[in-house]
A = this chain, B = another copy of it.
Amino acid sequence: MTAETGAALHALVAGLYPICRSITGDGLRRSLDMLRRHVPLAIHEVPSGTAVFDWTVPREWRIRDAFIEDSAGRRVLDFRASSLHVVSYSAAVDAVLPLAELRRHIHTLPAQPSVIPYRTSYYAEAWGFCMAHDALEALPEGLYRARIDAEHLDGSLTYGEYLHRGETEEEVLLSAHCCHPSLANDNCSGMAVLAFLAARMAGRRTRLSYRFLFAPGTIGAITWLARNRETALRIRHGLVVAGVGDAGAATYKRSRRGDAPIDAAMAHVLQHAEPSARLRDFSPYGYDERQFCSPGFDLPVGLLQRSPYGEFPEYHTSADDLDFVRPEKLAASLALIENALSILEQDRHLRNAFPFCEPQLGRRGLYAALGGDPDAARRNLAMLWLLNQADGSRSLLDIAERAALPFATIAATAAVLEREGLLVPD
């Protein structure tokens, strides 16, 4: 993965960053439009009020402006400076209040006094602002005008979808939530990485089909699942991608099943590529894997992130900005996903066609020459492992794990042995 890729990913993150996204509305639509420059997303609009399982598609939120003005008419908080300043999906307000009363509608983080927190109020009607605690503390007593020029109206929930068709109808689901406003890592990073991945897929012949989903968190995933119950049955592997640009080590959270092929593939890739990476068991708190892994679906969908949600101080604050996201980490995350998908593409069961004793590899020129080439030694070992273990009960990934060799080495060696007729499809 070149430095160029990292820079291009970061540029897309930077483009998405300022937009005021929410679970519905124009910020979401503009973000999906920006992704369409990279991948030909189909855009779906689901009307407000549509029943989706236990939920209802909410009304659309339109926000034009928001501010707090002091008595001199100076904006002491301005939505135009950061989309985080307004509680997402906030009700409208236009009122003049004393500071003491206004404070009850202002969220701050006293322990991190210089950052703006991110707050939502999707399913309870309320209005509110978010600001740095220091800035709030600096306000003199007095009357302030609180203005949120927003409305909720019947409209639709928007999501984008792209299907890369492979040779089979078995699908891989790749999903990024895109409802958070100006948070660079959470989840402009996931949107950018998946858009690039989809673009890179375009020219490739693949065995599996790949479905990319860009939808608002929770309600978007629920809406998609409600409308795609048949499609969901075809999902063989899946990955939620979120928060993949920060400097932290990669973190993979296993699917609810815990031993799905995506779990094995991600574990293998991380172990070889990022020894400091973290593997975690499924838990029901998190991103949209919550919905994909609900017991009625129980899809084999894991989560890739870097620093885990909720465990770093920048999480859900204005400190999750464009500096917090690193070009090289975005590129590395993309590479991790591509490596895992490459395993899922190539993994298969082969059988040793000469199972009684070892076949004579030297006669076929398969043994590297005498001497100390360590790559040759590794390839020789890969041959021996494959011939010994390829009895139909173990896939190439199983054999790579057993041999403690990278999947790529095993797969490349298997191809050589297949060409020689020593391994055959099981």
Please provide the chain A residues from 354 to 394 with a CB less than 8 Å away from any CB of chain B in the complex: 354-360, 362-363, 370, 381, 384-385, 387-391
Contact present for B362 and A295 (CB under 8 Å): no
- Chain B residue with the shortest CB-CB distance to A128: B370
User: Measured between alpha carbons, how far is A359 from B54 in the docked complex, in Å?
Assistant: 5
Contact present for A363 and B294 (CB under 8 Å): no
> Within 8 Å CB of A391, what residues of B?
295, 298
User: Measured between alpha carbons, how far is A390 from B358 in the docked complex, in Å?
Assistant: 42
A86 lies within 8 A of chain B by Cβ: no
Contact present for A352 and B388 (CB under 8 Å): no
A221 lies within 8 A of chain B by Cβ: yes
> Within 8 Å CB of A387, what residues of B?
284, 294-295
Contact present for B295 and A390 (CB under 8 Å): yes
User: Measured between alpha carbons, how far is A218 from B360 in the docked complex, in Å?
Assistant: 10
A291 lies within 8 A of chain B by Cβ: yes
> Within 8 Å CB of A54, what residues of B?
354, 357-360
Type the 1/0 row for A2-32, where 1 means its CB is closer than 8 Å to any CB of B: 0000000000000000000000000000000
Contact present for B360 and A55 (CB under 8 Å): yes
Measured between C-beta atoms, what is the minimum distance from A107 to chain B in Å? 9
Please provide the chain A residues from 194 to 227 with a CB less than 8 Å away from any CB of chain B in the complex: 218, 221-222, 225-226
User: Measured between alpha carbons, how far is A354 from B54 in the docked complex, in Å?
Assistant: 8
A312 lies within 8 A of chain B by Cβ: no
A293 lies within 8 A of chain B by Cβ: yes
Q: Can you tell how many copies of this chain the complex includes?
A: 3
User: Measured between alpha carbons, how far is A257 from B133 in the docked complex, in Å?
Assistant: 59
Residue among A119, A284, A381 facing the most chain B CB atoms (10 A cut-off): A284
Measured between C-beta atoms, what is the minimum distance from A129 to chain B in Å? 14
A296 lies within 8 A of chain B by Cβ: yes
User: Measured between alpha carbons, how far is A378 from B256 in the docked complex, in Å?
Assistant: 20
B291, B385, B389: the one contacting A357 at CB < 8 Å is B291
> Within 8 Å CB of A225, what residues of B?
356-357
Please provide the chain A residues from 294 to 320 with a CB less than 8 Å away from any CB of chain B in the complex: 294-298
- Chain B residue with the shortest CB-CB distance to A377: B285
Contact present for A388 and B356 (CB under 8 Å): no
User: Measured between alpha carbons, how far is A221 from B356 in the docked complex, in Å?
Assistant: 11
Per DSSP, chain A at the interface is loop
Measured between C-beta atoms, what is the minimum distance from A417 to chain B in Å? 13
Contact present for B294 and A356 (CB under 8 Å): yes
User: Measured between alpha carbons, how far is A355 from B360 in the docked complex, in Å?
Assistant: 56
Residue among A119, A352, A355, A388 facing the most chain B CB atoms (10 A cut-off): A388
Contact present for B388 and A295 (CB under 8 Å): yes
Contact present for A293 and B357 (CB under 8 Å): no
Measured between C-beta atoms, what is the minimum distance from A117 to chain B in Å? 11
A237 lies within 8 A of chain B by Cβ: no
Type the 1/0 row for A216-256, where 1 means its CB is closer than 8 Å to any CB of B: 00100110011000000000000000000000000000001
Please provide the chain A residues from 372 to 420 with a CB less than 8 Å away from any CB of chain B in the complex: 381, 384-385, 387-391, 403
Measured between C-beta atoms, what is the minimum distance from A288 to chain B in Å? 10
User: Measured between alpha carbons, how far is A96 from B177 in the docked complex, in Å?
Assistant: 78
- Chain B residue with the shortest CB-CB distance to A359: B54
A290 lies within 8 A of chain B by Cβ: yes
Contact present for B355 and A295 (CB under 8 Å): yes
Contact present for B358 and A294 (CB under 8 Å): yes
Contact present for B123 and A362 (CB under 8 Å): yes
User: Measured between alpha carbons, how far is A290 from B218 in the docked complex, in Å?
Assistant: 54
Measured between C-beta atoms, what is the minimum distance from A115 to chain B in Å? 17
> Within 8 Å CB of A362, what residues of B?
123-124
Q: Which 3 A-B pairs have the closest CB atoms?
A: A296-B355, A296-B356, A284-B388
A-B contact pairs, 16 of them (CB 8 A): A53-B356, A54-B357, A54-B358, A55-B357, A123-B360, A218-B358, A221-B357, A222-B358, A283-B403, A294-B357, A294-B388, A295-B355, A295-B387, A295-B388, A296-B352, A296-B355
